Amino acid sequence: MEIGKLLSLMVDKDASDLHLKVASRPVLRIDGLLITQEDFPPLTAEDIESVFGQVATREQRDTFLRERELDFAYSVPGLARFRVNALQQRGTISLVFHLVPFDVPSIDELELPQICKELILKPRGLILVTGPSNSGKSTTLAAMINYLNENERRNVITIEDPIEFLFQDKKCIIHQRDLVDDARSFAIALMQALRHDPDVIVIGEMRDLDTISTAITAAETGHLVVGTLHTIDAAQTIDRIIDIFPAIQQRQIRLQLSQVLEAVLSQTLLSRIGGGRVAAFEIMIASNVIRRLIRDEKLFEIPPNLELGSKEGMQSLNQALLDLVRRNIVSAQEALRKSSNPAKLQELLPV
């Protein structure tokens, strides 16, 4: 089976993901919906193994045989890059291809909050981009790095698993490290990055205690650290970071985090009216009030302060969703589906 035809179809239909599974036809995710491709026959185990052999190197296939799962990047010249995940299920290989365009989108093209431009130019501190899987965190991060690359002279080191968007040096020097090919772990790569004269360190995923601890230390020592977490809002993000530390350290971590944190951007993707998708953001800026709430263990007071912090650039997710509905970009039903507090949003929506 030739994978090229399916990947070209994926690009032509503007699909974000391609799913290949034994006994199923290929499935594309288009505007968030899974669409079975009826023009293709159900895939056999041999089909999937053939595709895997076409896109994975010998070393990657050996790793998969040992681990039964694998993340890697695959490029088709003139078409696009793809983040590929392979896993074993019921004794067979399952593959998902996630589309990564060659061209890095801009903050304006993605309609991201304008405060993203201000945040990425900060000289130091910790910025977190959060959200569930496939919510566009990597794309938001790439757009922010691209803006930095066009506007400031900084030494930027990224640590990714795998590398997705490829950057060309403009004003910045950008070093991109792949977790498999270039580094052994996020924590080790982050420690080594601190010895490479960085101004900005980008962490693809802050997934463990060592990585989070080193990231906070890096932000404390005068670097700008930008990372992602799989959390759904600002309060949960702070809670997750603190909870990963032993109880005896948590008070100290609250203090450190309250000092270095600059912002938390929590995003979700919604289907647009008429097709396509758009991101909605909860934005928490580390104002003096927010820093005090983190320090004093009053995270439950963060949500109401987001709604009152518009002068500092803050907004709740419901405020962002309400704005999209009022501008006729998304439907009220879609906004309610994505809201973390749909009852409250329902009260705000126009009748």
In contact, 163 and 119? CB cutoff 8 Å: no
Residues in a beta bridge with 265: 129, 283
In contact, 85 and 73? CB cutoff 8 Å: no
Query: Which domains, ranges and CATH numbers included, belong to the chain?
Result: 3-100 (3.30.450.90), 115-348 (3.40.50.300)
Q: Is the predicted pLDDT of residue 100 greater than 80, yes or no?
A: yes
Instruction: State both tokens at 118.
Output: 């201000």
- pLDDT at site 2: 85
Task: Give per-residue pLDDT as tens, 154-166.
Answer: 999 999 999 999 9
pLDDT class of 1 with cuts at 50, 70, 90: confident
- pLDDT at site 87: 97
Instruction: Give the list of residues 6+ apart from residue 150 with CB closer than 8 angstroms, or none.
Output: 170, 171
Q: Is the predicted pLDDT of residue 293 greater than 80, yes or no?
A: yes
pLDDT class of 176 with cuts at 50, 70, 90: very high
Average confidence (pLDDT) over 91-105:
95
Task: Give per-residue pLDDT as tens, 36-81.
Answer: 999 999 999 999 999 999 999 999 999 999 999 999 999 999 999 9
- pLDDT at site 137: 96
Task: Give per-residue pLDDT as tens, 192-208.
Answer: 999 999 999 999 999 89
Average confidence (pLDDT) over 128-151:
96
Average confidence (pLDDT) over 222-231:
96
The share of the chain scoring above pLDDT 90, in percent, equals 95
Calpha distance 115→96 (Å, rounded): 33
Cα 22 versus chain centre, distance: 29
